[in-house]
Structure formats: C-alpha cells, structure tokens
Amino acid sequence: MHFTRALRIQLIPSFFFGAIYPLAVLLILLHARSGLAETIYRSTDSHGRTLYSDIPTPAAKPLQPATPPARSKYRVTRVIDGDTIVLENNKRVRLLGINAPETGNRYHPGEPGGADAKKWLQGKLQGRSVYLEHDRQTHDHYKRMLAHLYLPDGEHINLSLVEKGLAIANLIPPNLLHANTLIRGQQRAETRKLGIWSMQHYQPRPLIKLTEKPFGWQRYRVKAKALKRNHRFSRLIISDNLDLSFANRDLALFPPLETYLNRPLEVRGWVSRRKNHFSIRIQHPSALIPY
C-alpha cells in the first residue's frame, strides 16, 4: 500500500487476509474525514484488484465516510438475553457487531453459554443508565434499535462481552463501526480460551455434506472446490448440497473469492436450508478464516 498526492491506493491480494484489509480501508476513510480528501472512489482494475483514490474515474463509485455517531442516554429496565435489552421507553435494543448464544424459548432450546451471557449483562446493566451509539442502520427488520452500549465510565459493553468469550463478533455490513476493535477482542478471548472458546459445543468440526440443518452458530472446517456467480450472489461450492454464499454488494470487503478455493477454511456462522440445499451466509472476512 502506498500514498501519492492523489491518495491512489492499491491493495494486493495477500494484503486482504485477517483484519488488515478493514484497517486499510479505515485509514483511507479517516484520511477523507480529515479534510485531505472530500470523497474516496472505489474501482476495480483489469486484474480484478480493488483500487481506492480521491480522483474519480468513469467506472469508480464514491465511498463516503460515515459521520461520527452521537450518543444518547437511557435507563435499562430489562435484559432479555446476552445481546438484547429493553429501555425505559420500552424500546428493544439489539447490541451491534456481536451475537450471544441463545438462552432458549418454547421454540428452541438454549445454547451453551447463553445463560452466562445474560447473567453477566444483567449484572452490568439492569436498572442502570447507558449511552447508545448507532451505526449506519438504526433499526433491524424486527424494529429493534441497533446500538453499541457504553457505561458512564466509558466501558464498551459490546466489546466486553466479546473479550470475555460471552459473545462472538458478528459483523454485518453496512454496520462496521468498531469492527477491528471487536475482531481484536475476539482474538484475545479465543487465544485465552475464554467462555465459548473453551466449550466443546463450539469447537470446529468437519463439514462436507448435510442431511439436517444444525441449530445455532457453529464453526466448521471446509474446503471450497468451485466458484459460481449470478447477478446477486457469489457462492463457494463445498459439496453438491452445500455452499458459502456472499452478496455481491459485500464483495469489496473480501479478497478475490478465487483465493479461497482448494484450501482449508474455517467458516463461522449459521446454516440455512432451502429444500435439500444448505448454505452459510458470509458477510465479513472475519467469518471465513484460511488456516
């Protein structure tokens, strides 16, 4: 990566792996936000490499930096589970960038670690005031508010849950505020085998073919043998009835998908099913790890 007067930046394929790619884009956006460049443009060259520049070209698309979010203060009246709370105005809030194990209901059993995450969050937030920080989207399709939560002393609750292994980083574009911070927090928890990272239920398992849909978030070891594309999605084919699915609008976050072919991968996420076909949706590079 290099800077010139025009801020023309090229990311080579080997630079995409791990958390380095999101960090590079963040540096570009911070450069734009500083006033040195008003708008950053993204384009793809003839070799399929993604380029960023503050000089527009006919095929380039503008990439506007987000406005720094404001924070609002509310009192917490109830903790529903490890990643969902209720405020004094009866609004539900889903914590951004993370996912805690399910605590269970009449439709599904609880997942290991779900009760621990809820208990910790209750001890931290029940009856206390918190500051909410929003990202690009303020609500999800369930009409819950989406937010990062902070205590008056500055503690970032979303991050604390991840650092303690009580939740996993679950990054969904366009809400990537604090993405690198959450990834680093998760790496620390995983290295120290805290919480879910010590539980047998969440250890990586081989996955080649499925006959039944597994429940909940899991880690799988796979190898992609082919790549297929259509106008909306790109798919890494694992077997005749299993693939990894990427929305084409998210592909700028990833290296060329060809770099994932024929190599061992750990995929983290949820399996969906349509008739006899299974798929795992991948929305951020942190959910697909070469090893």
pLDDT for 6 beyond 50:
no
Q: pLDDT tens digits for 145-167? A: 999 999 999 999 999 999 999 99
Confidence at 30, pLDDT banded by 50, 70, 90: very low
Average pLDDT on 106-112 reads 86
Buried b or exposed e, range 213-244, using 16+ CB within 10 angstroms = eeebbbbbebbbeebeeeeebbbbebeebbbb
Q: Is 281 exposed, middle or buried (0-12, 13-18, 19+ CB in 10 A)?
A: middle
User: Which candidate in 78, 92, 94, 221 is catalytic?
Assistant: 94
Between residues 68 and 119, which one has the greater pLDDT?
119
Report whether pLDDT(68) > 90: no
Percent of the chain with pLDDT over 70: 79
- pLDDT over 80 (residue 2): no
Q: Distances in Å between the alpha carbon of 142 and those of 92, 93, 139, 209, 222?
A: 10, 10, 8, 32, 32
In the predicted model, is pLDDT for residue 184 greater than 90? Answer: yes
* Average pLDDT over every residue of 235-254: 97
Tokens of 133: 């920080």
pLDDT for 189 beyond 50:
yes
At 47 the pLDDT is 66
Q: 97-115: string of b/e by CB count within 10 Å (b at 16+)?
A: bbbbbbbeeeeeeebebbe
Give, in order, the Cα–Cα distances in Å from 147 to each of 71, 136, 178, 191, 231.
9, 10, 11, 27, 32
Note the pLDDT tens digit of each residue in 190-199.
999 999 999 9
pLDDT tier, 15 (very low <50, low <70, confident <90, very high otherwise): very low
**How far is CA 123 from each of CA 78, 120, 290, rounded to the nearest angstrom?**
11, 5, 37
pLDDT surpasses 80 at 56: no
Which member of 133, 144, 163, 235 is catalytic? 144
How much is the average pLDDT of 114-129?
97
pLDDT attached to residue 55: 64
Radius of gyration of the chain (CA): 20
94 is catalytic: yes
pLDDT digits (tens, 9 = 90+) for 85-99: 999 999 999 999 999
pLDDT of 19 strictly over 70: no
Q: Is 136 a catalytic residue?
A: no
What pLDDT is attached to residue 41? 59
Q: What percent of the chain has pLDDT over 90?
A: 70
What secondary structure, in 3-state letters, does the chain show?
CCCCCCCCEECCHHHCCCCHHHHHHHHHHHHHHCCCCCCEEEEECCCCCEEEECCCCCCCEEECCCCCCCEEEEEEEEEEECCEEEECCCCEEEECCEECCCCCCCCCCCCCCHHHHHHHHHHHHCCCEEEEECCCCCECCCCCEEEEEECCCCCEHHHHHHHCCCCEECCECCECCCHHHHHHHHHHHHHHCCHHHHCHHHCCEECCCCCCCCCCCEEEEEEECEEEECCCEEEEEEECCEEEEEEHHHHHHCCCHHHHECCEEEEEECEEEECCEEEEECCCHHHEEEC
